[in-house]
Amino acid sequence: MAYKRFKKARAGRRSAGKRRSRHSNDGGLFKGVIGAALYGGVRGYASNMVAPLTSKLGMLGTYADNVVMIGALWGLGKVMPQAKPICKTGILIEAAMVGGEIVAQVAPPTAMSKSSIFDGGGYA
C-alpha cells in the first residue's frame, strides 16, 4: 500500500462558540473613540484632584502631571476592571502627550507662514 504524504482534512466540527471567539471583534475604533471622549471629559477634574501630589514631584518638571495621571489610571484599571478599556485609552493619551513634550524640547516645531505655502517655498 502506498504511503500517504498528507492526511485528508476532515469536515469542520468546530462548535459555534469556538468559531465566534476566533472571529470576535472587541469594539474596534468606535470603542476607543468613546473611551477617549470619556477620558477627555474627566481629565481636567482628575488633574485638579491629583494636583497636590503633582506639586511634590518637582523633579519631573513638566512631565509630573502626565506621570501622576498615568499612575492613577493604571491603579484605577487594576481596582476597577470595568474601567480598564477607558484607563488603557487614557494611558495611551498621556504617553502621547509626554512624547509630544519630549519632541518639542528636543526639536521645537517650526511654523509655516501662509505666503511660503502659496509661493512654493518651504518652512519659514
Number of domains into which the chain is organized: 1
Domain holding 54, by residue range, is 28-104
Sign of torsion, CA 74 78 83 88? positive
C-alpha cell at 7: 492526511
pLDDT(74) > 90: yes
**Digit-coded pLDDT (tens) for 18-64:** 555 555 556 677 777 887 888 888 888 888 888 888 888 777 777 88
pTM of the model: 0.61
The answer to whether residue 33 sits within a structural domain is yes
The answer to whether residue 47 sits within a structural domain is yes
